[in-house]
Amino acid sequence: MQRSIEHLYRLARTFSAALDLLDKQHREPDRWEEECLSYALGAMACGLYPAAEVELEAFARAPSERTPDELAQLENKPRRFTKTMLRHGLAHVLNGDDDSRAPAASHLAVRTFLGASL
């Protein structure tokens, strides 16, 4: 059990470092990065730490190493997650913080998400 907790915390540090990098670059994640971070977060929440590692490694992949097919598939998907939302998700995974309020999402973001889910 202790090893799982340590693994989660190591992944959380890597995840936070990815968001900090985006902060230093004064930008939100691009569509590729957003996909990697959201999948990593979901994997961490489910205890699928090896899958989270794969996604965090993919996040760090240089744009020139991203395949055209993967990029084309992503272009057809709407953006869904901001850095703020991803940080909130990480806090929830680490703390089970059910009392914290989720960041407000715009009406358009919610409609886009729901439309993409249908």
Q: How would you class 81 by CB atoms within 10 Å of its CB: exposed for 0-12, middle for 13-18, buried for 19 or more?
A: buried
Residue 1: the pLDDT is: 57
How many structural domains is the chain composed of? 1
Residues of the chain with pLDDT under 50: 117-118
DSSP 27: S
- Give the Cα separation of 118 and 113 in Å (integer): 9
Helix axes 31-45, 83-95, angle to 10 degrees: 10
Q: Do the beta carbons of residue 80 and residue 112 sit within 8 Å?
A: yes
Domain boundaries, position 109: 2-117
Q: Considering the entire predicted model, what is its pTM?
A: 0.77
pLDDT tens-digit readout, 58-85: 999 998 898 888 888 888 888 889 999 9
Residue 78: the pLDDT is: 82
